[in-house]
Amino acid sequence: MNKLNKALNESAFARWSVLILVGFVLSANYYFYDAFSTLKGTLMSEFSFTNTQYGMFVSFYSIPNTFLLMAVIGGIILDRFGIRRTGFSFVFCMALGALLTAYGASYYYSNGGLGFATMGSFLPNYSPQLKMMLLGRFFYGLGAETSIVVISKILVKWFKGRNLALAFGLKVGFGRLGTFAALQLSPILNNGGQSLSTAIWFAAFLVFTGLLVFIVYMLLDAKLDKQIMPVKAKIKDEDKFKFSDIGRLLGNRAFLFIALLCVTFYSAVFPFMAFAPDLFVNKYGLTDVASGRMTSLLPLATLICTPLFGFLIDKYGRSASAMIFGSMTLFLIHISFALTNISPYIPMIMLGIAFSLVPAAMWPSMVRLVDENKIGTAYGMMYSIQNLGLWGFPLIAGWLLDYTNPGNPSVLNYTPTMLMFATLGLLGLFFAFMLKYTDKKRGFGVELPLNTSK
């Protein structure tokens, strides 16, 4: 009888099935985001993009979450209206944006398709293709970040107290699997610039498939809610979200330091990934396909290491210490790219380890700082702060490349750009130290194992 009454999230099979479903959605999300890094050269030659315009395309993803605070708003909506309605709405926006981006790069659109004349009627310094792709990138970013917030809350809902850090590690692994696949497949599908549209349409199709997969998850979520509804009905009014909760979060120094670490750390990785294949072409003389494979070492390493680190943090804790070590490693990696000619294989593998360690420790640590009924808001605020960096630093990186390489030289000098990324790593190291100090002083329990109560 007890087994018949057992909630769905108490079943290990159900929990891991849910992780696979939402993991596919995340993989599709990351595939689309990273598919363009190996297409940079083709985009510039096909549509006459400059380095600055390519940086603008990368950064446009973050505009709705930086200036419109959509990740924060999405987190609030998530806490108020639940996973299913919020998740479907934002995954739908993500799919719509992916399809619009692919349409902007299609041959049909470039040959005068629907919207081409309208897009060509304003801002003549920007091509109609770029403007349509920016519109798609905007909607994609509007949905993508909040969909990650939704997936984070899904994992807390299904795994809290049951290998939560491992689940988050596997979640990160699914994202890196999407990145790895994009870096491997995108240049092959592009076929040396002959099939740019095919490469982008394939990425958009994966995102649309992710929407269908999320609908399947919604059925499981509805069943779980029916089982736990009597418990949920007992939640007191004072436990529900209030806008004053945002002020309390911002007044929590540990939350601020982990959010600042988040923005500096991710700004030193994701924008770097967008330029890394081009760095390997220019500094090390690799081909487009070889540079994509080199860059794919990062997600491959994180795919393997992040679940392992999550398991260890579940069992032994030391999350703040892990963030310190990962941030220090990130700084040293970017310094080596900027100032040495060491084989790129070594720093890319080390970057994979750093990029496994910090996320595996950072995201599940939020359950030590925030109540579960406000976790969506907290994650939403973190993603919005993160997106400030993901918007600004691709623009700065693209501008630095144009400024330090006047006259379009045949080989670009990436040293100033890599020093910028190294500076971000150094700032992240400072915030990680401050997080550990604050945790020791206030006793949040960030350093404790996650499989035990505080």
Which candidate, 394, 388, 326, places its Cα nearest to that of 363?
326
The span from the CA of 29 to the CA of 376, in Å, is 19
Distances (CA, A) of 75 to 189, 263, 267: 36, 17, 21
- pLDDT (tens place) for every residue of the chain, 454 residues total: 444 457 787 888 888 899 999 999 999 999 998 888 888 888 888 888 888 888 888 888 888 877 777 777 877 788 788 889 899 999 999 999 999 999 998 988 988 889 989 988 888 888 898 999 999 999 999 899 889 889 988 988 888 777 787 888 888 889 888 988 898 899 899 888 788 889 999 999 999 999 999 999 999 988 888 877 654 544 444 455 566 667 777 778 888 899 899 999 999 998 898 888 888 888 888 887 788 788 877 777 787 888 888 888 888 888 899 999 999 999 999 999 999 988 888 898 889 889 889 988 888 888 788 776 777 778 878 877 887 888 888 889 888 988 888 877 778 888 999 999 999 999 999 999 999 999 888 888 888 886 654 4
Q: Tell me the domains of the chain and their CATH numbers.
A: 19-225+237-442 (1.20.1250.20)
- What are 120's two structure tokens? 């060509």
The span from the CA of 71 to the CA of 385, in Å, is 9
- What are 119's two structure tokens? 């897009």
Contact 56, 234 (CB under 8 A): no
Query: Helical H runs in 345-374?
Result: 345-362
From the number of C-beta atoms within 10 Å of its C-beta (0-12, 13-18, 19+), residue 124 rates as: exposed
Can you say how many angstroms the Cα of residue 109 is from the centroid of all Cα atoms in its chain?
Answer: 29
> pTM of this prediction?
0.73
